[in-house]
């Protein structure tokens, strides 16, 4: 199967496990992600509103196709509980053809 799509990994964080579970379920149900992994809790250090902050968060690692990325970004931005969520798209330069085919099949 020749596919012009390629695999991308999207990373974001949320404050609670409930938010992480809700977002993961919705993204997979809507075929915007083939798989979402939840890591955490993790500790994040960052500057916000002029002060150094420290928060406990949960990281979502989202596997999708490059074709679905624009739709995923739009939907994730609208569903995300943060005012200004960090949503990072990382292109995958290599993977197995079988895994790529699986991701594409589940994000159509």
pLDDT tens readout for residues 5-18: 899 999 999 999 99
d(CA 78, CA 99): 28
Q: What is the mean pLDDT of the chain?
A: 95
Higher-confidence position of 78 and 108: 78
DSSP lists the bridge partners of residue 34 as: none
pLDDT band at 20 (very low <50, low <70, confident <90, very high): very high
54: domain range? 7-105
CA–CA dist 32, 106 (Å, integer)? 8
Question: Comparing C-alpha atoms, which of 66, 72, 60, 61 is closest to residue 93?
Answer: 66
Residue 35 counted as domain residue: yes
**pTM above threshold 0.85:** yes
User: By three-state DSSP, how is residue 2 classified?
Assistant: coil
The CATH number of residue 25's host domain is: 3.30.70.120
Between the alpha carbon of residue 65 and those of residues 8, 101, 107, the distances in Å are 6, 10, 7
In a domain, 2, yes or no: no
């Amino acid at each position: 199967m020749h596919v012009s799509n390629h695999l991308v990994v999207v990373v974001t964080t949320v404050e609670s496990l409930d938010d992480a579970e809700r977002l993961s379920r919705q993204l997979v149900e809507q075929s915007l992600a083939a798989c979402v992994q939840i890591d955490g809790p993790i500790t994040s250090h960052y500057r916000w509103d002029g002060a150094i902050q420290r928060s406990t968060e949960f990281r979502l690692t989202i596997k999708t196709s490059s074709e679905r990325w624009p739709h995923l970004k739009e939907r994730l931005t609208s569903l995300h509980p943060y005012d200004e969520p960090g949503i990072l798209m990382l292109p995958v330069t290599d993977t197995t053809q079988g895994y790529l085919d699986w991701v594409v099949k589940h994000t159509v």
